[in-house]
Chain A
Amino acid sequence: MKTLVQNIEALSQRVGRDVKLMEVCGTHTMAAFRSGLRQLLPGCVHLVSGPGCPVCVTDPSYLDAAIDLCGRPGVIVATFGDLVRVPGTDSSLERERAAGASVRIVYSPSDALILARECPSKQVVFLGVGFETTVPTVAWAIWRAARDDLKNFSVLCAHKTMPRAMDALVRDKAINIDGFICPGHVSVITGAHIYRFICERYRIPCVVSGFEAWDILKSIELLLRQLAEGRAQVENEYSRSVSEHGNAAAQRLMNEVFEPCDTAWRGIGMIEGSGLAIREQYAGFDAVKVLGVQFPKAHVNPLCNCGSVLRGVASPLDCQLFGRPCSPAHPIGPCMVSGEGVCAAYYKYERIAA
């Protein structure tokens, strides 16, 4: 560990300027904060968080739609725990549950399927949020529901994919990324090759990283070495779990059930081809079609800086609402309530170091 830190120090001096490394994945954000590794980095290496928190980048109108759904008679909303405390325009699933709405927290999309089987007279709507790591599991649930001809299961889909978003971040002039720490578990599914275009098109080095503190530090070392040597390649630090081409079975299932679409990312705006929509032949499991879901324009607190924070152009500490009144107990924006939100990370783990 000491050698790693020393190498990083030495390499950062070789590079000779401030560098901005973006870790895209929310789980990396949390791992970096929880392990305390940020304090071991030299001052010229800046670790910036990207929009890799699926909860944080979900449009607020989706939360409002989910809140509306759980109030409908005969509907049970099944969701990962991550979404329960996220504020919509004026309520949250947590508050709705307290007021009597049917909100069920599940560990797995397969649990939502079981729920649908156990409650045939109810419509079970699963909130499909998450990146490529999670998408195959939801695809499986839809595929299985189709195979078993289940009539009371659907998914409200807000799934997103990484590559186009990373492309949009690089092209955003305000951000200036020198290197990417690429998502680890997304890459287990997709394979490391999906980042090649960033190196080829923009000459920005990419390292796929694991989640131990050692992995993240190693990845930073690899990125700095590339910068010092003027290279821009995809390196796979997480080779124990990630291969070049990923999990073929999972990808097949994803492609069977979902197709790319344009979608809005909170804070970034519309990114072409970065979302996933349920294919026409599985329309019977698309909650939008089955239940006629609308997405009215949501109201967002104008002082909430989540958008800039998600793009890596502002720090949570720059937000006027940070700490007071926005805190994990009373979040105003998703970056504070999400288990991987960077505002939550700053507040919970580092607010005095600032």
Chain B
Amino acid sequence: MCLAVPARIVELHNSTATISVEGALREVDVSLINEPRLGDFVLIHAGFAIHRWEQSEIEELEAIRAATDLREAIT
């Protein structure tokens, strides 16, 4: 019931941030997560960041995608 997208914080404002999903940028609210930092990966749902990812968690997602042999981009 919940489409949520991993995104990277590229700009921080007060309670909002600009996030990037592979270059697509949007403003989202970051009030629901603790101490967001520039460069953090967050999970976005309905215009809000609901979870902040640690580096190890990002690596886990990347490993899963690699295991699936999913080509992220054919550049």
Contacts and interface: CB of A to CB of B under 8 A. Distances in A.
Nearest to A253: B32
Nearest to A130: B1
Contact of B32 (A25, A136, A212, A213): A136
A66 to B, nearest CB: 18
A1 B68 contact: yes
Interface in B32-71: 32-34, 43, 45-48, 50-51, 53, 56-58, 60-61, 64-65, 67-69
Given A133-B45, A184-B2, A241-B57, A250 B50 contact: yes
A52 B33 contact: no
A210 B60 CA distance: 12
Interface residues of B, number: 28
A249 B2 contact: no
B53 A240 contact: yes
A187 to B, nearest CB: 10
B3 interface: yes
Interface residues of A, number: 38
Contacts of A183: 1-2
Contacts, number: 102
Contact of B1 (A25, A107, A241): A25
Given A249-B34, A250-B32, A253-B32, A26 B50 contact: no
A131 B50 CA distance: 14
Given A240-B57, A240-B60, A137 B47 contact: yes
Given A131-B2, A134-B2, A212-B65, A249 B31 contact: yes
B4 interface: yes
Contact of B64 (A26, A186, A215): A215
Contacts of B1: 25-27, 52-54, 130-131, 133-134, 183, 185-186, 340
B2 to A, nearest CB: 3
Contact of A240 (B3, B33, B61): B61
Interface in A319-340: 340
10 tightest CB-CB pairs across the interface, nearest first? Answer: A108-B47, A185-B2, A240-B57, A133-B2, A240-B60, A137-B48, A137-B46, A214-B64, A26-B1, A250-B32
9 contacts: A133-B46, A136-B50, A140-B48, A185-B1, A212-B65, A214-B67, A214-B68, A247-B32, A247-B33
Given A107-B47, A131-B1, 4 more contacts: A80-B46, A110-B48, A140-B48, A186-B1
